[in-house]
Copies of this chain bind each other. A is one copy, B any other.
Amino acid sequence: MLETIYVINPTCTAHLNHGIDDAVAPLRLKGGPKIETVMLASAGPAIESQGDSDAVAPLVVERVRQLAARPGAAAFVVACFCDPGLHAAREVTQLPVFGIGESGLLAAMTVGQRVGVLSILPSSVPRHWRMYGAMGIADRIGGDRPVGIGVVELESRPDAVDRLVEEGVWLRDSAQCEVLVLGCAGMAPFEAELSRRIGIPVLDPVRAAAAAALGRVLLARPAARGGH
């Protein structure tokens, strides 16, 4: 039976699932693990505060615990940039668990020396700096700039991309960042346009984390199973 990577959308916003599904589609290969996006029906519609993040963490952990018991369960991705429940989830399963904040930032560290983060709300920024400190990578962060547009508005606001470009250009020019990470799930659709307009790589952290999960799952296979 093929392995399954579960990408946990820690909100009850169903259409985020579709965006994630599309974003990770290139990681689905014949013979490779399945990638399934699951939603937390009991969660809120978005995570925009430390309180939202704390509230959803136990739900994430519980879902990981349940899914880990399913046949073929192989890895988990927590699809919120502040990685709610990440470390607790690692306690309830031996299977690898990835947070999109952690994995997005680490992936960016293989692309450029100074990493910038494009955040959603100003109130996220201190929470992010705590995460950079906890990860021990604060010296690699050139800046973290919020656009001041809530995650649910992001798609409907016609100026969203312009604002992201504006802050991205600031990070590139004034903070000398060589690569940017989107500081929120669900922004994969902007990845290509932002990279092009800002002129440096912009990474969607959900895709980065799912890719990390894919690699880890494959490496866990017995070597004999490989071959080309």
Give me the interface of A with B, judged by CB distance under 8 Å.
22-32, 34-35, 49-51, 53-55, 57-58, 61, 84-85, 87-88, 90-92, 96, 98, 102-103, 106-107, 109-114, 122-123, 125-127, 129-131, 133-140, 144, 176, 178, 207-208, 210-212, 214-216, 218-228
Q: Give complex CA distance A195, B216 in Å.
A: 15
Residue of chain B at shortest CB distance from A128? B113
Q: Is the CB of B32 within 8 A of A29?
A: yes
Residues on B with beta carbons closer than 8 Å to the beta carbon of A49: 88, 91
Residue of chain B at shortest CB distance from A57? B54
Q: A110-B96, A212-B212, A225-B26 are in contact. Are A54 and B50 (CB under 8 A)?
A: no
Residues on B with beta carbons closer than 8 Å to the beta carbon of A129: 113-114
Task: Give the interface SS of chain A, mostly helix, strand, loop or mixed.
Answer: helix
Q: Is the CB of A228 within 8 A of B178?
A: no
Residues on B with beta carbons closer than 8 Å to the beta carbon of A25: 223-224, 226-227
Q: Is the CB of B219 within 8 A of A211?
A: yes
Residues on B with beta carbons closer than 8 Å to the beta carbon of A55: 58, 61, 88
Q: Is the CB of B133 within 8 A of A28?
A: no
Residue of chain B at shortest CB distance from A99? B110
Having A28-B226, A138-B139, one finds 11 other A-B pairs with CB under 8 Å, namely A25-B227, A26-B218, A27-B218, A29-B30, A29-B218, A51-B91, A51-B92, A113-B130, A133-B134, A136-B140, A212-B215
Q: Give complex CA distance A133, B140 in Å.
A: 10
Q: How far is the CB of A84 from chain B (nearest CB, A)?
A: 8
Residues on B with beta carbons closer than 8 Å to the beta carbon of A215: 27, 208, 210-212, 214-215
Residues on B with beta carbons closer than 8 Å to the beta carbon of A218: 26-27, 29, 211, 214
Q: How far is the CB of A227 from chain B (nearest CB, A)?
A: 6
Q: Give complex CA distance A225, B138 in Å.
A: 36
Q: Is the CB of A28 within 8 A of B88?
A: no
Q: Give complex CA distance A210, B54 in Å.
A: 24
Give the contacting residue for A110; candidates B28, B106, B114, B127; CB below 8 A. Answer: B106
| Contacts A/B (CB < 8 Å), 9 sampled | A24-B226, A34-B228, A49-B91, A87-B126, A87-B130, A110-B212, A113-B127, A122-B176, A211-B219
